[in-house]
Amino acid sequence: MQKFQWKINVIDTDGHIEGKMVTSKDVWKLQNSKVIVHFDEDSGQPIGDSGGLLGSWLGQLSNDVNLIPINYSDWRLVSPHIKERAWEVVQSKFRFDDPMLRKDYVMGALGSRCKDVKLRLWREYKRETQIETVQNRPDIVPEDQWRHLVHMRNCTSGIRTTKKTIPCLTYVEERVFQGEEMRLKSKPEKHHVEQSFSSRLVRNLMEVLSVRRPKHDRKHLRC
């Protein structure tokens, strides 16, 4: 099958620019030269063949689980050291008119592709039990990294299941915290005297849900 080629310009260390037809895999072979990436000034996104090549190449880079491990819960929480290493690799192959201006977009696009890789591997290799999933490790993923990911996914799944069974209490938990925090900030000198906002809110909810409470508690209830 013929590989797709992109019509782009490359610039060498002496500043000489040359037009080339390359595949995304050819980028890895470039020596002492970089692909020039063109951006749309209005949208701030890469355009033309150079933009398409960058996106395709980032997809390949996202599969390097040794450079960018998959055992993380949120791309925003990935170690800055790991991200900086990946950014250096990107800059070694692509030239940007303003690297710091383009960094957020490029790293965001890379994060999206890394997420796709993680989800794809999970769908393909997940089994019925945690032990079976650990044993069914993809060849490209180191053992400790895969085991950690499986553990994280199972823990997260357990938390989601628990909160689904008590959605009203989850909502109350969030609203109580927000309401109590605002009340204490607005009237800090009275919070030890006033009836607790959180207690009233919880009791009101329990009344609505017809939860049985002692009568002496009910007679003090105020809406």
Which of 24-33, 66-75, 90-99, 175-184 comes out lowest in average pLDDT?
Answer: 175-184
Please, which pLDDT band fits residue 180 given cuts at 50, 70 and 90? very low
Neighbours of 140 (CB within 10 A): 13
Q: Where are the domains of the chain?
A: 6-126, 167-218
Which residue is it, tokens 């000489």? 16
Please, which pLDDT band fits residue 200 given cuts at 50, 70 and 90? low
Packing angle, helices 80-93 and 48-61, rounded to 10: 140
- The model carries a pTM of 0.69
What is the DSSP secondary-structure string of 63-89? T-TTTS-S--S-GGGS-HHHHHHHHHH
- Find the mean pLDDT for residues 202-207: 52
Comparing CA positions, the residue from 124, 88, 123 lying closest to residue 103 is 88
Which residues does 9 contact at the CB level (< 8 Å), separation at least 6? Answer: 17, 18, 19, 20, 35, 36, 50
Which residues does 138 contact at the CB level (< 8 Å), separation at least 6? Answer: 121, 124, 125, 146
Q: Is the pLDDT of residue 35 over 90?
A: yes
Which residues does 131 contact at the CB level (< 8 Å), separation at least 6? Answer: none
Question: Could you report the per-residue pLDDT of 37-59, keeping only the tens digit for each?
Answer: 999 999 999 999 999 999 999 99
Residue 154 has a pLDDT of 85
Please, which pLDDT band fits residue 177 given cuts at 50, 70 and 90? very low
Lookup: tokens for 80: 């800055």
